[in-house]
Structure 1
Amino acid sequence: MTNIAVINYGPRLDYPAMFPEVADRLHVFSHHELAGTEGLGGYEHVPECEAVPYPELMIRRMARHRPFTHIITDNEYDLERVARMREDLGIPGQSSASALSFRDKVVMKQVARRTVPTARFARLAAFTDLTDFIAERGFPVVVKPVKQGGSRDITVLHHDDELVAFSRRPWREDLMVEEFVKGPMYHVDAVLAPGYRFVASSRYLRSCLGVFSGDNNGSVQLRPDDPFARRLENFLDRVLEAFDTPEAGAYHLEVFHTPEDELVMCEIASRVGGDRIPALTRATYGVDLHTASLRLSCQLPCEPPPADPPAEVHGSVSILPQGRPVRLPDRPPFPWVRHYEVNEQIAPDAVTLYSASHLCFVIVSGVDAAEVERRLLQAEAWLMERIEELPTA
């Protein structure tokens, strides 16, 4: 009989609604407090769940008395420990080696370059590895942790003065360096399983790293019948040919499009994309990426994705924290604004720490990517003009 352990991160996931037929056999340990957990087989809010071993201890102890048929997670930072538990308990699903190849960015690029181009890179065991890489490749370069996400703790070094400044920071043992790749970045979001294939392609409104210099972040969906979307989907297939992949899984691929018209892989994750990606996917395709990928991972039936192209596509833009208290305007008064949401959880004087940091965000619709982008920029300008700075105490 189905018996499922879940290590959850998402604050809004509704597991009874996602798994109605087996909700009483779901045992959920959650980083964030969840609403509507009645009817679950077990639920526990575990502060700092992704960082503490408690849920792993409890799942292993529970399995002694009633074996689990599946162990799943929505969280990238839990992929490796969930894979280890599966292997130890003889449960099917993504292996530890597969999880590592999608988590460690050096291993990831070593695997991916078998089938697609990647930026040149190196693991940094010591600071001299960085200076040697720069001496060979030149500036600019990107330095980042090998297992971090959301553009956290990334540094771009453009010239020697920035290298000198970087050398004054405490050294970390988990870094890599790669050459800077010019060109816009696209993302491809997919759920793949036997008999199920959903792939959607989008372009970031601006560089994800731009948030650290004050650029608002966003995403613009491509129509699935756009020739470039098809090219990106083919690129995803080529990337995945290099990896050991589970029977069912979700993927978030980031791809550079260079001025020379080359596609270069940036990173790929074996999980649902973050930020507004799930909301945009629901708005355009009616597909809930979390529900589809997690149900398929548990070998449960799932509604097939739509076969026909959508009437419209969507995009989002998030307004960055301003580093000072502000009053945000009401919803922009445009008929094509589909959703506007203010982040009630953020501190008034918060600063941008990662690419999904936001005071508020807006989702707009349009017939194609060009119209969506124009409308996003119009909505963004309307919001920025009306942000009101508040006096500080």
Structure 2
Amino acid sequence: MRYLILNRTALTMRRYDLWLGPEHEVVLVTAAAAVPKDPAERAAVLAGYAHVECVESFHFDPAVDRLALALHEKWHFDDVLAFAEFDLMRAARLRASMGIPGHAPEDVMAFRDKFAMKVRLAASDVPLLPFAAVTYATDVLDFVAEHGYPIVVKPRRGGGSMDVEVLRGPEDLTGLFERNPELGTDDGAHLLAETYLDHELFHIDGVLVDGEVRMVWPSSQGDTTCLDIVNGLSLRSSLMDPEDPLTEPLREMTLAALEALPTPGSCVFHAEIFRDRQGDAGLVFNEIAVRMGGGMIEDMLELGFGVKPHEVYFRSLGGNNPPEVPERPLRIAGVTLFPPRPGTLVEIPEECPVPDVAVYKSYAKPGTVMSGAQFSTDKIASALATGGSRKEVEDVLAEVHAWFERAAVVTDAV
């Protein structure tokens, strides 16, 4: 098989060539930032590919599509693979243009477009919050008139919690309209509105291979949310205990959503489900993507299960000795991310003294002038922890949070 892989993730984390195996030819088109700068390390991670193209401007660059089609004229690819949120449609369009079977653009759109996704899920009785497409300002006003405040407005094809807004009253409409002037144009905006729920967020991550579930496991973000990190607060997540009464319902709801959508037979996936904190709404489905969750979820799953989800996928795809995935985690693992906040970073610790922290990393240097987080995965430091239960892990992460808040020093922005 000849594969074209579109990549923007650090290649030290994704050894596509090794996982697929030497009997396959793999051509890589990668963002230059994903390639190690050290010459020896760079040579090592690129050695197994039949051909490599490094692209400086990768995000939304149409030159990548042109390059891919030119490479196809020489290599005659059997498949095009991509695993980043903003490359899924690009890969689908390329497959269609190349005449390669696989996940078609209209299938991928059912995952990329949150409104199209929710329409399909609603038709299959997957529980959802009230939602509506928002094209014009009147759509927002009509939705509020029907459902009241608070509401959430977000891009239909966004990612990483970018540009997600919670409107709690009429005073928030002014800011929304200022930031989205297309709501007043004839062409309109491409947004989604839904009622806001005071919730605990669960994410469910896994791997499908030829229609068989190899992994599907829920995690909880506890009392933190993805929007917290954009507002400068830390984000935490922990694998659920096998005996937790919510573990199986979360798994079942995720598989029901995959069944309701045009899911490829083989993929990695990341779903989000809300639980009502205050009322009796119970579990309601938010969204699902056919790619791995960000924010070091992949690292947390590897620590908990002892296998890399992407390695399971690629080795299975290539028939190259895929590892067995345990039915339940070998240990409970969790992760916390510390986002940048506006100001100058004066001090940041290089090591973490908290017991049961498996890995701690800092990503910024003293003297860095920071703005706020733009994505829910932005971070200046992170920690992975293990324990015998979710509570033990959450206690460790809480201790890490308290320690980091004391140890890291940021002066306020002027």
Counterpart residue number, 2:133: 123
Q: What is the aligned counterpart of 1:211 among 196, 221, 229?
A: 229
Tell me if the contact between 2:240 and 2:332 (Cα under 8 Å) persists in the aligned partners.
yes
- Any gaps of 5 or more consecutive residues in structure 2? 36-41, 183-188
Tell me if the contact between 1:72 and 1:294 (Cα under 8 Å) persists in the aligned partners.
no
SS in 2 for 1:325: strand
1:166 counterpart = 2:176: yes
Amino acid at match of 2:148: G
Counterpart residue number, 1:8: 7
Provide the aligned length of Structure 1 versus Structure 2: 390
Tell me by how many angstroms 1:344 deviates: 3.9
Distance change in 2, residues 1:120/1:345 (3 Å): farther
Counterpart residue number, 1:270: 290
Counterpart residue number, 2:264: 246
Tell me by how many angstroms 1:304 deviates: 2.3
1:229 counterpart = 2:247: yes
TM-score by length of structure 1 reads 0.93
Counterpart residue number, 1:182: 198
Tell me by how many angstroms 1:365 deviates: 0.8
Deviations 1:236-279 (A, max 9, x none): 11111211111101110000012426211111101111111000
1:282 counterpart = 2:302: yes
Amino acid at match of 1:242: A
Counterpart residue number, 1:356: 377
Cα distance in 2 for partners of 1:168, 1:103 equals 25
Amino acid at match of 1:190: G
Cα distance in 2 for partners of 1:215, 1:152 equals 16
Counterpart residue number, 2:186: none
Amino acid at match of 1:86: R
SS in 2 for 1:190: strand
Tell me by how many angstroms 1:47 deviates: 2.0
1:322 counterpart = 2:322: no
Deviations 1:161-187 (A, max 9, x none): 111232333424221211112220100
Cα distance in 2 for partners of 1:51, 1:324 equals 30
Tell me if the contact between 1:106 and 1:123 (Cα under 8 Å) persists in the aligned partners.
yes
Counterpart residue number, 1:27: 27
Cα distance in 1 for partners of 2:114, 2:150 equals 19
Deviations 1:126-185 (A, max 9, x none): 111101111111000111111110100111000111112323334242212111122201
Larger mean Cα displacement after TM superposition, 320-329 or 360-369: 320-329
Amino acid at match of 1:353: Q
1:135-174 residue pairs with structure 2 within 5 A?
Answer: 135-172=145-182, 173-174=189-190
Tell me by how many angstroms 1:225 deviates: 4.2
Tell me if the contact between 1:5 and 1:28 (Cα under 8 Å) persists in the aligned partners.
yes
Percent of aligned pairs with the same residue?
26
1:89 counterpart = 2:98: yes
1:365 counterpart = 2:382: no
Distance change in 2, residues 1:388/1:220 (3 Å): same
Cα distance in 2 for partners of 1:17, 1:5 equals 15
SS in 2 for 1:129: helix
Counterpart residue number, 2:78: 69
- Any gaps of 5 or more consecutive residues in structure 1? none
Tell me by how many angstroms 1:319 deviates: 1.2
Counterpart residue number, 2:207: 191
TM-score by length of structure 2 reads 0.88
Distance change in 2, residues 1:296/1:110 (3 Å): farther
Larger mean Cα displacement after TM superposition, 287-296 or 35-44: 287-296
RMSD: 2.2
Distance change in 2, residues 1:163/1:298 (3 Å): farther
Cα distance in 2 for partners of 1:392, 1:214 equals 13
Tell me by how many angstroms 1:391 deviates: 9.5
Cα distance in 2 for partners of 1:160, 1:318 equals 33
Tell me if the contact between 1:4 and 1:70 (Cα under 8 Å) persists in the aligned partners.
yes
